[in-house]
């Protein structure tokens, strides 16, 4: 059996350090905020190059609180990818703003920067690109466009820890960058966690207050906040895992390279990492009209795969009231029907990847 992602193996590899950190945190007597959270925030800020990092409860809250701190609300439009995890959209909806979806470029998974401009209106306030699957979006082009139109940029970097654009790590290109530390992400906690990195002090302060009941000084509440803070135990875990992130991303890159070479020439769409990108392969996603048969074939041979994502956000029941129809975003809809995520992770062996490649080749030979 080749698992899609082996979180137990990831834990085992770092278990002495993780257990030391967890014991330190549990024995500290300090269970909300405090040194563990401050230390991780400082380390992650340094890693991303951002002057500020604010820990929050999860990735969805990171996005939502960043939008609130940007004063995005009812009547504002936010440009989002049509092809993304629904959390990107949920954050926009949570603040009462309107999602304006933009399709990916042909043959790619990320938002098509060239078509963003046509979607900008007088109501547009924010461009919200996603570095989907660990492939960074072209932040230089997006930020140039935002500057030209006086828009803010919020990045959804939930799948992009360590990714870089033209040598500069994701974390400071946009006005704010939202991170998730959900266990399966490249930098994953042992539970929920999230953060926002930013170069703007006022955004950092506002996000921290919003996630702390709207209060910067205890028992003095300036606005209607929520409770969304990074847990100190998770911060302790994340400090250990951050130290391993680059090495683990390098392993993913070696496996991705093997997939790319081994699957070349087959009738399927392979992921494209632009020449200027440092892609960190959160997922290795292919697309083929024979997706369901291929998944069944791999499953029958002990290879676990997943689909990211089977229903595009605009066709989710949750968005029924917006009245979108099948055909409105054909590229996102095609991906929902065709994408397949192959096993990928820092503990996956080269032998396992070779087996998956061989099985995919066999599948297409038999067609």
Tell me which residues touch ligand PLP (CB under 6 A). 58-60, 84-85, 87-88, 130, 156, 158-159, 180, 182, 192, 194
Q: Which is nearer to ligand PLP, 21 or 87 (CB)?
A: 87
The conformation of residue 225, written as its DSSP 8-state character, comes to -
Q: How far is the CB of 341 from ligand PLP (least distance, A)?
A: 12
Closest to ligand PLP by CB, 88 or 212 = 88
Q: State the nearest-atom distance from the C-beta of 181 to ligand PLP, in Å.
A: 7
Burial 65-98 (b: 16+ CB within 10 A, else e): bbbbbbebeeebbbbbbbbbbbbbbbbbbbbebb
Nearer to ligand PLP, 36 or 61 (CB): 61
Of 196 and 360, nearer to ligand PLP (C-beta) is 196
Shortest Å distance, C-beta 308 to ligand PLP = 8
What is the smallest separation between the CB atom of 137 and ligand PLP, expressed in angstroms? 11
Q: Indicate the residue among 281 and 363 with the shorter CB distance to ligand PLP.
A: 281
Closer residue to ligand PLP (CB): 57 or 343:
57
Q: How far is the CB of 267 from ligand PLP (least distance, A)?
A: 28
Query: Is the Cβ of residue 225 or residue 294 nearer to ligand PLP in the bound state?
Result: 225
In the complex, the smallest distance separating the C-beta of residue 32 from ligand PLP, rounded to whole angstroms, is 19
Residue of this chain nearest to ligand PLP (CB atom): 59
Report CA-CA distances (Å) from 72 to 8, 55, 305: 40, 20, 37
Q: Is 219 left (phi over 0), alpha (psi -120 to 50) or beta?
A: left
Only one residue has tokens 């997706």, namely 291
Give whichever of 132 and 353 is closer to ligand PLP, judged by the CB atom: 132
**In angstroms, what is the minimal distance from the CB of 88 to ligand PLP?**
5
* Least CB distance to ligand PLP at residue 313 (A): 11
């Amino acid at each position: 059996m080749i698992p899609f992602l082996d979180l137990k193996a990831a834990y085992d590899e770092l278990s002495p350090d993780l257990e030391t950190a967890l014991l330190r945190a549990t024995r500290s007597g300090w269970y909300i905020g405090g040194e563990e959270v401050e230390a991780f925030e400082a380390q992650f800020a340094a890693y991303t190059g951002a002057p500020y990092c604010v820990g929050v409860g999860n990735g969805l809250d990171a996005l939502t609180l960043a939008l609130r701190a940007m004063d995005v609300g009812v009547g504002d439009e936010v440009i989002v990818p049509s092809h993304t995890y629904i959390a990107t959209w949920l954050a926009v909806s949570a603040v009462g703003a309107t999602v304006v979806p933009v399709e990916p470029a042909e043959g790619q998974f990320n938002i098509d920067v060239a078509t963003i401009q046509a979607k900008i209106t007088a109501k547009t306030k924010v461009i919200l690109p996603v570095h989907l699957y660990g492939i960074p979006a072209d932040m230089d082009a997006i930020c140039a466009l935002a500057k030209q139109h006086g828009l803010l940029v919020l990045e959804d970097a939930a799948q992009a820890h360590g990714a870089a654009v033209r040598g500069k790590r994701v974390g400071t290109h946009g006005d704010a960058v939202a991170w998730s530390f959900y266990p399966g992400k490249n930098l994953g906690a042992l539970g929920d966690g999230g953060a926002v990195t930013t170069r703007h002090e006022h955004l950092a302060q506002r996000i921290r207050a919003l996630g702390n009941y709207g209060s910067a000084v205890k028992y003095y509440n300036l606005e209607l906040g929520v409770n969304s803070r990074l847990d100190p135990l998770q911060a302790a875990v994340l400090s250990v895992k951050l130290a391993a992130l680059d090495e683990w991303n390098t392993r993913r890159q070696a496996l991705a390279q093997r997939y790319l070479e081994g699957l070349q020439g087959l009738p399927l769409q392979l992921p494209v990492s632009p020449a200027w990108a440092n892609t960190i392969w959160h997922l290795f996603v292919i697309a083929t009209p024979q997706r369901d048969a291929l998944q069944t074939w791999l499953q029958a041979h002990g290879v676990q795969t997943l689909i990211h994502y089977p229903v595009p956000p605009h066709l989710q029941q949750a968005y029924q009231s917006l009245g979108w129809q099948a055909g409105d975003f054909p590229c996102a809809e095609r991906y929902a029907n065709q994408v397949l995520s192959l096993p990928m992770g820092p503990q996956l062996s080269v032998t396992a990847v070779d087996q998956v490649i061989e099985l995919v080749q066999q599948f297409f030979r038999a067609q």
